[in-house]
Amino acid sequence: MRNLTTGQSDIIRLIVLGVLVILEGLAMVSTVLNIVFLPFGVVYPNIASAAILILPVLVGLVAQRFEVAIVLTVLPLFVLAVVYTVAFAPVWNIDLFQLGVLAGRVAGAIFLLGTLGYFGWLLRRIFLRGSTSKMGA
| Residue 137: predicted pLDDT | 41
Q: How many domains does the chain have?
A: 1
* Residue 3, domain member (yes or no): no
Query: What range does the domain containing 41 cover?
Result: 8-127
pLDDT at residue 35, rounded to an integer: 85
What's the pLDDT band for 40 if we cut at 50, 70, 90?
A: confident
Task: For 58-102, write each residue's pLDDT tens digit.
Answer: 999 999 999 999 999 999 988 888 887 777 766 666 666 777 777
3-class secondary structure per residue, 69-96: HHHHHHHHHHHHHHHHHHHCCCHHHCCH
In a domain, 135, yes or no: no
Task: Judge whether 26 lies within some domain.
Answer: yes
Distances (CA, A) of 12 to 5, 16, 40, 72, 125: 14, 6, 29, 17, 19
Residue 137 in domain: no
List, in order, residues 6 or more apart from 8 with CB less than 8 Å away.
none
Residue 134 in any domain: the answer is no
93 lies in some domain: yes
Would residue 132 count as lying in a domain? no
Cα-to-chain-centroid distance, residue 26: 10
Classify residue 69: in a domain, yes or no. Answer: yes
Predicted model pTM: 0.79
